A and B are shown apart, each in its own frame.
Chain A
Amino acid sequence: MKCLVCNTDFMPKIDFLALFSPKKEKNSTMCPACWQKFHRLTGTRCPQCGREQEKSEICQDCQKWQRAYQGKILLNHAAYDYNAAFHDLMVSYKRYGDYILCQLLSELAKEDLVKLQFDYYVPVPTNPDHQQKRGYDTIWEIFNPLVPLTPLLLKKAGSGAQGEKNKKARMQAKQNFFLNPEFRGTITGKILLLDDIYTTGRTLYHARDMIWTAFPEVEIESFSISR
């Protein structure tokens, strides 16, 4: 098999359990050497956003949100550290438009995401201009194979990408989401917002704000592949 990241040939691991089990697991799309470059978030972390840190107290970013939202902090589940390997992967996937990497991102998200049971899975929407240019919706394509998605939110055209701003500009970004007019019906139960990267939290909090304008009662948490 060819590794999607470094393009070298590798032998997928074969274990007997997988060989004889009726459920066929799909082979990994990445070689063991590349797997090692990704760092699972374990150890002591911020209990709210999942960031790895020395103490298991609420991190400074989350304290700011706590103040801004009168204690209504968003609980975020994160799987991987946003390190150089993850950064390079996202550059290829989002900037260069290397679509096939969505398979790999799905694989990274899978293990943690399947453990989270929610009534609705709402992907964070992407800019329609970018979507048009790339030929795909970056977030939708990652999560679509894993969970049933509900397109509750849309993003305004012409709004800039968070990835190109510095921290201050990110925090000052305006609400760019709106409710999908094609979505009818009501929502009861729990929603999990899905995104690729949690940096400042700005995007996910905006997404939650917008959902709460229509459904103030629902419980909302979020999942990001990296933090």
Chain B
Amino acid sequence: MNEAISSKAGRQWLVDNLDHSTNQGQTAIPAVQKGCCQRCGSVCYARLPSGALYCRECVGLGRLDQGKYLVRQAASGTYPKQRGMTWTGQLRPAQAEVSQFLLEQFAKKKDCLVHAVTGAGKTEMIFPLLAEAFSQGKRAAIATPRIDVVNELFPRLSAAFGQIMVGCYHGKMEKEPAGEQLVICTTHQLMKYYQAFDLLIIDEVDSFPFAGSPQLHFAAQNAVKKTGSRVFLTATPPKDLEIAVKKGQLAEIRLKRRFHGGLLPIPKLDQYYRPFIGKKGLHPKLVKRIVQACQSGHPLLVFVPRISEIPIYLDLLKKEKGLAELKMAGVYAEDPDRLEKVQAFREGKLDLLVTTTILERGVTFKHVWVIIVAADDRIYQTSSLVQIAGRVGRDKDDQTGLVLFCYHYYTRQIQQAVKQIKEMNR
């Protein structure tokens, strides 16, 4: 790597005071200005006994107090001008079209939104864009709200760009930055950068915690150079991005077909009047649906709104006669056996998995069908429902399948989710 690039290039960090001289290429600013945190943009309201304000929102990165300073290292130096791509795969025509669009927008320094259906093969589409950026000696980052996605992307991109230094950062690892040309990280990590990247790609923009977090949006704005551009990838664009598209601030491209060319499965709607769990156990109609799905020989994901409901449903399902021979389990975010159970389900060692929204995205199970119990619960945003529906029919040999929304009240989220899916199928 070029020696002119400092390992701290484009980073920002906190110091208690300015008694040491700032080095070349560094600037220091007061950490709190006009009551706002300069790292995450939040309005500070909590005070220490000394009366100094501090920021609660980004406290996990080291407490930022009024009176401290943020030191920012300029993103000086350039990287060697080389494409660095070792990936030799071929993009499908639909993917290539998106890729071409991204290259054009990057040349114009315009931010873009890629609205591609679940299972479209988004990651490959950005390879040519990254290669183009590297060929100009530019620096790029791919940020995503979820650690699992970071862990999945890092090996893929390291393999695709064998000649580029790739860094991987998230909160569960302690690692000193090394000024890598390509950084893959969680959106939280972006708070440690200031005007560092020429190209910032944010994957799964609609996902928690990025969606609805002003702090992370602030960081995503700050981490890019003034001359840089951003690309947002999603299957379900959030409102703010849709508005930006309408205003012309953002160029949008849609990819309506999955990589295998098939349509998205349309959710079936199933309304209930009595509660899902009554005095005599599960609602008979719900049991019937689950039995039917299982008898078809497909592995079944049953989504419930809350972790606490997993064991309840699991117990009741185990008591059902029609399901007695099935192997089932429940899995949730902090489950110590989460990875093992998901793997067992993938390998067909489990027939039925009761879970929460943790399995809504980023996972592929062959031939899987899904049932959402209480799809009208407020935990299910439109994007969650679309993502869950998107688990089904991802295999090129099995492009359809059952997506069943069970609910009591027909919510706006259910309506919007079905509408979005139908729109993408048109």
Write the residues of chain A forming the contact surface with B, with a CB cutoff of 8 angstroms: 92, 96-100, 135-136, 141
Task: Please tell me if the beta carbons of B59 and A97 are within 8 angstroms of each other in the complex.
Answer: yes
Would you call B65 an interface residue if the criterion is a C-beta within 8 Å of the partner chain's C-beta atoms? yes
**Which parts of B42-100 form the interface with A (CB within 8 Å)?**
46-50, 52, 54, 56, 59-60, 63, 65
Task: Please tell me if the beta carbons of B65 and A135 are within 8 angstroms of each other in the complex.
Answer: yes
B49 cross-chain contacts in A, Cβ below 8 A: 99, 135-136, 141
The residue that B59 contacts in the complex, of A92, A135, A136, A141, with Cβ under 8 A, is A92
A-B contact pairs, 26 of them (CB 8 A): A92-B59, A96-B59, A96-B60, A96-B63, A97-B54, A97-B59, A97-B63, A98-B46, A98-B56, A98-B59, A98-B63, A99-B46, A99-B47, A99-B48, A99-B49, A99-B54, A100-B46, A100-B47, A100-B56, A135-B48, A135-B50, A135-B52, A135-B65, A136-B48, A136-B49, A141-B49
Which residue of chain A has its CB nearest to the CB of B55?
A98
Which residue of chain A has its CB nearest to the CB of B45?
A100
Which residue of chain B has its CB nearest to the CB of A102?
B49
Which residue of chain B has its CB nearest to the CB of A91?
B60
A13 to chain B, nearest CB (A): 21
Per CB-CB distance, the 6 closest pairs between chain A and chain B, nearest first, are A100-B46, A97-B63, A135-B48, A96-B59, A136-B49, A98-B59
Q: How many residue pairs at the A-B interface have CB separations less than 8 Å? A: 27
In Å, the complex CA distance between A99 and B52 comes to 11
B48 cross-chain contacts in A, Cβ below 8 A: 99, 135-136
A100 cross-chain contacts in B, Cβ below 8 A: 46-47, 56
Which residue of chain B has its CB nearest to the CB of A96?
B59
A92 cross-chain contacts in B, Cβ below 8 A: 59
A129 to chain B, nearest CB (A): 14
A203 to chain B, nearest CB (A): 23
B46 cross-chain contacts in A, Cβ below 8 A: 98-100
In Å, the complex CA distance between A99 and B59 comes to 10
A65 to chain B, nearest CB (A): 33
Which residue of chain B has its CB nearest to the CB of A135?
B48
A99 cross-chain contacts in B, Cβ below 8 A: 46-49, 54
B59 cross-chain contacts in A, Cβ below 8 A: 92, 96-98
B50 cross-chain contacts in A, Cβ below 8 A: 135
B200 to chain A, nearest CB (A): 26
In Å, the complex CA distance between A171 and B110 comes to 62
B175 to chain A, nearest CB (A): 19
B60 cross-chain contacts in A, Cβ below 8 A: 96
A97 cross-chain contacts in B, Cβ below 8 A: 54, 59, 63
A98 to chain B, nearest CB (A): 5
In Å, the complex CA distance between A135 and B68 comes to 13
Which residue of chain A has its CB nearest to the CB of B57?
A7
Name the residue among B46, B47, B65 with the largest chain A CB count within 10 angstroms. B46
Which residue of chain B has its CB nearest to the CB of A100?
B46
Q: A96-B59, A98-B56 are in contact. List 4 more A-B contacts (CB 8 A).
A: A96-B60, A135-B49, A136-B48, A136-B49
A135 cross-chain contacts in B, Cβ below 8 A: 48-50, 52, 65
